[in-house]
Amino acid sequence: MKRGWRRVVASLNLVTTLLLLLVLFIFVNFIASRRYVRWDTSKQQITALSDQTIQTLKTLTDPVSVIVFYQPGHRLFDLVNDLLGEYSRTSPQVRVERVDPEQDVARARQLVKEFEIDVSSGPEALNVVIFKSGTRHKYLSDTALAEYDYSSMGMGGQPRVKSFKGEAAFTSTIVSITQGQAPLVWITSGHGEKSTAAADPTGLAECQKYLEQQNLSVEEVTLLERSSIPAEVKLIMIPGPTRRFTEVEVGLLETYLQQGGRVLLLIDALDDTGLDGWCARWGVNVGMDVVVDPSRRLPFVSAANLFVTDYTEHPIVNKMKMLMTLYPLARSVRPAEPAPESLTVTPLAMTSDAGWGETQTSVERFQFDAGQDLEGPVSIAVAVERQPTSSPTLTPAAASPDASPPAPSRFVVIGDSDFIANAQLGNVGNRDLLLGAVYWLIEQEQRIGISPKTIESLKLHLTSGQMTGVSLFSFLALPSLFGLLGVGMWLLRRQ
């Protein structure tokens, strides 16, 4: 009887232990499914979300539906699918649906009709990502998500994905369909400014297109035709004027800034615009010079063409430490000393110590003249900010005791406008600087610094001799080695 009871007790202990282990296993998996950590160990961090995107997703209050309307065999399908998986894992407000247009024909027709997708260009038009929130929607094609290398198409190959712009496009689209209204941007005209209607190398057609892709509403206006600047104008952009502004126009701009407006002034070298005094009142000195930097000179062109890699600590340029910006012709733009009270004036982009501001602009060969030229490092971009708690000190008239404090204002001055022209906008960090300035001015800093991610294609190039060696090793040496090992093992077992 004792042995029988012992067997029963031992069996019960075994069963209890197995049940406890099973419960523990289920419990651990249950916790792990809800509390886990993910790492992107790839070199390019293709699916790792930036801090800006994470911040945007965590502040979502309205649900966002995302429909991946892609064929599974498409070259972007895996990239889009994996990245959107991170979006949905970061925010429960993002819900992703995947629709194969070839397998689910009924759903595909429904989506084409509902979102008015143009399918006249062929099957490629069906490869889109659709975002919807409430009554607003927007869809992105593969050209908005990637940059392609078409060099292999001449030999019958397929275009290669050079860089993936998915995160910047997805985050920008989510912001655009969840915010109430697209911010209105005025671009001034009438003073020789670059035109948004011009598609030539010096125009701003690409700039307008790119700003509109960021959900900004862009209008070209003439200030003299306006008696005031409406409050709904979130930003005024002045791109490279070559003629003087009238006192009336300067007064409009001053009133707009005093009332909390935002201005981006791109002012080229050697042009008299009548805006220097206005800039000085806001703590910015605009030099009548050309900035040169022998250590930052582009090859085979004039020394007046320079690139900049030195940036200060400011939200506009914090994410540009590894990028350079190219300026065909720049003038110095630096903080006034001392800066007016109530203003924070910060230089953004600087030349090296070897650079200077050349005042003798008519000479063929630039040479630094101590006492005449501006010694380096020279600033070519400045950001000005006035906080709402500041006292009004910019106007000459004394403020009354009952006057309310001035509204917060932001002002950015860059000593070149050519860097955003059609021929230059896509160069290295030019677009990043433009967007950084625009986002900071309209207080959307969370969107600064989401850059495309380069897709590296590793190729192994072997000579004919190396190919012969690899073939002999693979098809002769390795099989012979394993054959000899087999024979050796057979001989050892016989002995």
| 3-class SS of residue 33 | helix
The backbone torsions φ and ψ at residue 117, rounded to the nearest 5 degrees and listed phi first, read: -80, 130
**∠ Cα 24 30 35 (to 5°):** 120
Q: Is the pLDDT of residue 401 over 90?
A: no
Mean pLDDT confidence for 459-478: 75
Question: Is residue 67 a contact partner of residue 88, using CB atoms and an 8 Å limit?
Answer: no
What is the rounded average pLDDT of the residues 335-355?
Answer: 91
Task: Identify the residue with better confidence: 410 or 337.
Answer: 410
Task: Check pLDDT > 80 for residue 34.
Answer: no
Instruction: Give the mean pLDDT of 269-291.
Output: 93
Q: How far apart are CA 290 and CA 370, in angstroms?
A: 15
Percent of the chain with pLDDT over 90: 36
Instruction: Give pLDDT, residue 187.
Output: 97
**How long a stretch of residues is the chain?**
495
Distance in angstroms (rounded) separating the CA atoms of residues 212 and 221: 16
pLDDT in tens, 243-255: 999 999 999 999 9
What is the pLDDT averaged over residues 303-307? 81
The string of pLDDT tens digits covering residues 112-126 is: 888 777 766 666 667
In this prediction, residue 156 carries a pLDDT of 59
Q: Which of 40-44, 164-168, 377-381, 440-444 has the highest mean pLDDT?
A: 377-381
Sheet holding 310-311, edge to edge: 217-221, 184-188, 233-239, 262-266, 409-414, 379-386, 343-350, 310-311
438-444: which pairs have CB atoms within 8 A and are 24 or more residues apart?
Answer: 438/185, 438/211, 438/214, 438/216, 438/235, 438/264, 440/315, 440/316, 440/383, 440/410, 440/412, 441/234, 441/235, 441/262, 441/263, 441/264, 441/410, 441/412, 442/183, 442/234, 442/235, 442/262, 443/410, 444/175
The reported pLDDT for the residue numbered 300 is 66
Alpha carbon distances (Å) from 413 to 42, 160, 243, 467: 39, 39, 17, 58
Please give the pLDDT value at position 136: 83
Which listed CATH number (1.10.8, 1.10.3470, 3.40.50, 3.40.1350) goes with 184-441? 3.40.50
DSSP 3-state helix, strand, coil percentages of the chain (rounded to 5)?
A: 35, 20, 45
**Predicted local distance difference test score (pLDDT) of residue 458:** 53
pLDDT band at 283 (very low <50, low <70, confident <90, very high): very high
- Better pLDDT: 364 or 311: 311
d(CA 436, CA 32): 39
Both structure tokens of 75: 């070259």
The pLDDT, as a whole number, for residue 449 is 66
pLDDT value, residue 317: 92
The whole-number pLDDT of residue 157 equals 63
pTM, full prediction:
0.70
Q: Look at residue 141 in the predicted model and tell me its pLDDT.
A: 79
Q: What separation in angstroms does the CA of 90 have from each of 95, 223, 468?
A: 11, 45, 51
Residue 45 has pLDDT above 70, yes or no: no
Q: Just give the CATH number of 51-176.
A: 3.40.30.10
Work out the number of other CB atoms within 10 angstroms of the CB of residue 39. 7
Q: Which residues contact 347 (CB under 8 A, 6 or more apart)?
A: 312, 334, 335, 379, 381, 382
pLDDT per residue as tens digits for the range 429-465 = 898 899 999 999 998 877 776 666 666 655 556 677 7
- The string of pLDDT tens digits covering residues 211-244 is 887 778 999 999 999 999 999 999 999 999 999 9
Q: Could you tell me what percent of the chain has a pLDDT over 70?
A: 85
The answer to whether domain 51-176 and domain 184-441 are alike in fold is no
Query: Which three-class secondary structure state does DSSP give residue 383?
Result: strand
| pLDDT value at residue 70 | 82
The pLDDT mean for the chain works out to: 83
Cα 31 from chain centroid (whole Å): 36
What confidence score (pLDDT) does residue 144 get?
Answer: 76
User: Is 219:230 a contact under the CB 8 Å cutoff?
Assistant: no
Per-residue pLDDT for 153 more than 70? no
- pLDDT higher than threshold 60 for residue 1: no
Domains of the chain by residue range: 51-176, 184-441
pLDDT at position 323, please? 85
CB contact at 8 A, 205 and 418: no
Name the CA dihedral angle for 477, 482, 485, 490, rounded to a multiple of 10 degrees.
Answer: -130
What is the Cα–Cα distance from 254 to 238, expressed in whole angstroms?
Answer: 14
Beta strands in 118-194 (DSSP E): 128-133, 136-141, 146-149, 160-164, 184-188
Confidence at 280, pLDDT banded by 50, 70, 90: very high
Say which residues have a Cβ less than 8 Å from residue 480's Cβ, sequence separation at least 6: none
Closest CA to 431 of 147, 179, 178: 147
Question: pLDDT tens digits, residue range 54-110?
Answer: 888 888 888 999 988 887 878 888 888 889 988 998 899 999 998 888 888 888 888
Instruction: Centre a 10 Å sphere on the Cβ of residue 78 and count the other Cβ atoms it contains.
Output: 12
Peptide bond into 328 cis (omega under 30): no
